[in-house]
Structure 1
């Protein structure tokens, strides 16, 4: 009986590279350690080989939960690299157009039971919402799905059973 190992996807490899680069930018890694980890991340074939490259690096998720109220972020706010919002009945409005986004890619996970949401992107940004699971809900993405070099890319995942999510530029 042979042991089957899961191959690393391009997205998993990109995420590992971003975590290593961010850890270096945050002063957590020396230049030699950055180089060593990037080489290991870029040459990893399996998830087993990739996991130790990032296992000790911070990858915090900012989690916001609401039962019935609105979750709104507008103006000059700091956008985390990973944001998760759980909202039972309320609406979510994330305006990234004037926000401080220190990353080239951010991940937003939305779990909106009955509510809906709007994500407003800055000029030139792209978004992919293919990871949203809907039942009676609807996802409308008016932004390009492919990232442009040097521009922000927003990856949106989660569940939207009944509501509506709109992703658009300012």
Structure 2
């Protein structure tokens, strides 16, 4: 006969629980507690986890691991607008990815780097518009991508190399490019020593 504790650990985890563990893993990687390869491995398993037991096994040995509130709705970061008009923008490093993100470049350019970011929703909608400018969206290996946009005398990437992991966040990219470009690239994270070099 199972105990109440074992029954609750075998309960199905929700998106909020997976996102909380992913953020805890990112904290551990940022502090050097987890190496890059172990971080990426645990992160993929966290997004694919179905039960609280699976999530607890991935985070039990980390500082800050506590029994989280089980379930509840995701609370995405507020919608964000990134503008580059005759200039540029960069969104890099550790930041909270909102459920909806709009980017616009007019005679300018920008970079949205999702590799080190914290996802606050299992699905992210990015609307990207480039007019005589260029933008690049960098996604980490585990994230799933659906990119569809329209280009007139420019380019809008529809495909991205590689497949994401089951259960990982889905990033939908839509928009258009007029005499400009929207590039979508899957890139691995760099080890901390590599980041210092460039």
> Where on the TM-score scale, by shorter chain, does this alignment land: which range?
0.5 to 0.7
Quote how far apart the aligned CAs of 1:89 are.
1.0
1:138 to 1:79, Cα distance in 2 relative to 1, 3 A: same
1:24 to 52, 73, 84: 73
Quote how far apart the aligned CAs of 1:59 are.
9.4
Structure 1 segments, 4+ long, off by >6 Å, are none
Query: Could you tell me whether the CA contact under 8 Å between 1:126 and 1:143 is conserved in 2?
Result: no
Q: Match of 1:96? A: 114
Matched, 1:137 2:149: no
| Structure 1 length-normalised TM | 0.60
Q: Match of 2:87? A: 69
Q: Match of 2:178? A: 161
Higher CA-based Rg: 2
Quote how far apart the aligned CAs of 1:137 are.
1.2
Query: Could you tell me whether the CA contact under 8 Å between 1:116 and 1:164 is conserved in 2?
Result: yes
Q: Match of 2:17? A: none
Q: CA RMSD in A?
A: 2.4
1:103 to 1:156, Cα distance in 2 relative to 1, 3 A: same
Quote how far apart the aligned CAs of 1:80 are.
0.8
2:112, 2:154 → 1: CA distance? 19
Instruction: Provide the secondary structure at the position in 2 that maps to 1:150.
Output: coil
1:110 to 1:137, Cα distance in 2 relative to 1, 3 A: same
Query: Could you tell me whether the CA contact under 8 Å between 2:77 and 2:98 is conserved in 1?
Result: no
Instruction: Provide the secondary structure at the position in 2 that maps to 1:24.
Output: coil
Query: Could you tell me whether the CA contact under 8 Å between 2:74 and 2:120 is conserved in 1?
Result: no
1:25, 1:60 → 2: CA distance? 12
Query: Could you tell me whether the CA contact under 8 Å between 2:74 and 2:121 is conserved in 1?
Result: no
2:184, 2:151 → 1: CA distance? 15
1:109 to 113, 122, 127: 127
Unaligned runs of 5+ in 2: 1-70, 188-198
1:88, 1:117 → 2: CA distance? 10
In the TM superposition, what whole-angstrom CA distance separates every residue of 1:99-147 from its partner, at most 9, and x where no partner exists? 11122210110111111111111121121222x1210111233245x76
Query: Could you tell me whether the CA contact under 8 Å between 1:133 and 1:160 is conserved in 2?
Result: yes
1:123 to 126, 141, 161: 141
